[in-house]
Amino acid sequence: MTEQWHTREDIDAARARFEQAIPGWQRPSAWAIGRAADEDTTLFERINVGDSYLPAVVLATVCGHVDGSGSYPLTVDELDRVIQLLAPAEACTEMEHPNLGVMRAMRADLGDDDLAVVVFIGDLGEHTDDPGVRSLRERLSLNHG
């Protein structure tokens, strides 16, 4: 039978296992998933600030992120893998799973050659030349500034 996480404690334990499996892992201050609109702009489907660390670390596991800030393209196969790794969380009905829902909706809209983009921000004040990180920072400043 496939693993299922029925309680918040199960989800916390799964998150801890994923975090321990990435040497040097640091939780991001913010992270988001979306699609590249062009070379310099990402259209974010879901933004998380200071929370939702299980989906963040699962995405990091698949794309190879460890700490700091950066953006990563995700193929549909990689997005499928993230969804598969997060699916056991749905067994916990005491909480919603909006990130997983957004990822499934995105996957349904992506063609086989399309890419999703995941962006991590380690420090909200850190300078970067990464266009995905800049795009997320701009979006956060519009929402919070």
Q: pLDDT tens digits for 6-18?
A: 999 999 999 999 9
1: in domain:
no
97: in domain:
yes
| 14 Rama class: left (phi>0) / alpha (psi -120 to 50) / beta | alpha
Give me the number of domains the chain comprises: 1
First to last CA, the chain: 47
Q: What CATH number does the domain containing 133 carry?
A: 3.30.70.2010
Residue written as tokens 């500034």? 145
- What contacts 81, CB < 8 A, 6 or more positions away? 62
- For the chain, strand residue ranges (E) read 30-38, 41-49, 70-75, 115-121
Instruction: Tell me what pLDDT residue 142 has.
Output: 64
Domain of residue 91: give its range: 8-144
* pLDDT(39) > 90: no
Identify which has the larger pLDDT, 1 or 139.
Answer: 139
The tens digit of pLDDT for each residue in 48-72 reads 999 999 999 999 999 999 999 999 9
The neighbour count for residue 136, using CB atoms within 10 Å, is: 26
* pTM for the whole structure: 0.94
2: in domain:
no
80: in domain:
yes
Query: Rounded to an integer, what distance in angstroms lies between the CA atom of residue 140 and that of residue 145?
Result: 8
Q: By percentage, how much of the chain surpasses pLDDT 70?
A: 97
100: in domain:
yes
Q: By percentage, how much of the chain surpasses pLDDT 90?
A: 79
Instruction: Tell me what pLDDT residue 105 has.
Output: 97
